[in-house]
Amino acid sequence: MNGAVVLTSRRRPAIWYWLIVIVLAGVALTLALWPRSGDVQRRDPDRRLYVNVKRAVSGGKIKLDGRGDAVDEYVIYAGVRAPFPKEPYFEDSMTRNAELVVGKEVRLRFGKQRTDAKERMLAYVFCGDEFVNETLVREGLAYVRSTKTNDRFSKRLLKAQKEARKRRRGIWKDRVWTRESSYFGDPKYGNFHRRSCEETDRINPARLRTFKSAGRALDEGFAPCAKCKP
């Protein structure tokens, strides 16, 4: 009897001790997770950023003017590939992109992969109601380039590309269609190649995709390689 009383009186401070520990841990966790000002990623559940555009470098790259939520100097458009400087429609693509975004505030949305291999911000760009990446694809001024880590709007973008191909707009107007027995796609980068391209040999066999035609590769969200021009 006496032993039991001693045991109970010894237990009581232990319960209070654990209650205090739990409350303090709760307070610490709340403070740690509380959104801080400037922490845009936490503040916005959709992980959006608002930035101002200074210049269009190409149809798939913009320079920011440093205001807004800018965390980087440049933004690369996700899910698409615009013509490179020596490819046809490079100028048209850049000019149209400038018309759409320069001097405006745009909203950036992100897929799973927020930066590219060169650590540049990779984003889907919205200006008002306009989805800029999609507009460029629909007007035949960019290819869809869907990767495993950035396929968030692929369905929408592929629909726009189908329309551009059907109406033969921009890059589709005088595209030279090659006729090879197979084309080779790399889902990591979202590009496809001819057999003879040196890039084909660099594709990890575990992820290599084979297509019967260039059209099939395009329909699956692969963009043509700028070197081998499949």
Tell me if 230 sits within 8 A of 209, measured CB to CB: no
Least distance to Zn ion from the beta carbon of 186, Å? 9
Instruction: At 187, list the tokens.
Output: 């889902």
Q: Give which of 102, 111, 119, 123 is closest to 49, Cα–Cα.
A: 123
| Dihedral sign computed on CA atoms, order 228, 189, 147, 107 | negative
Give yes or no for residue 214 binding Zn ion (CB under 5 A): no
Taking the least distance from each CB to Zn ion, the nearer of 212 and 227 is 227
Amino acid at residue number 137: V
Out of 107, 109, 138, 193, name the contact with Zn ion by CB under 5 A: 193
Taking the least distance from each CB to Zn ion, the nearer of 160 and 197 is 197
Site for Zn ion (CB under 5 A): how many residues? Answer: 6
Residues in CB range of 21: below 8 A, 6 or more apart = none
Least distance to Zn ion from the beta carbon of 196, Å? 8
Least distance to Zn ion from the beta carbon of 197, Å? 3
Taking the least distance from each CB to Zn ion, the nearer of 18 and 84 is 84
Out of 141, 197, 203, 218, name the contact with Zn ion by CB under 5 A: 197
Which residue stretches of the chain are H helix?
2-33, 40-43, 90-101, 132-138, 154-166, 198-202, 214-219
CA 217 to chain centre: 20
Least distance to Zn ion from the beta carbon of 164, Å? 22
Give yes or no for residue 199 binding Zn ion (CB under 5 A): yes
Least distance to Zn ion from the beta carbon of 117, Å? 17
Q: Select the span of 16-24, 62-70, 173-181, 219-227 touching Zn ion (CB under 5 A).
A: 219-227
Give yes or no for residue 225 binding Zn ion (CB under 5 A): yes
Q: Give which of 136, 161, 138 is closest to 221, Cα–Cα.
A: 161
CA distance 67 to 65: 6
Q: How many CB atoms lie within 10 A of CB 125?
A: 27
The CB-nearest residue to Zn ion is 225
| Chain residues in the site for Zn ion (CB under 5 A) | 193, 197, 199, 225, 227-228
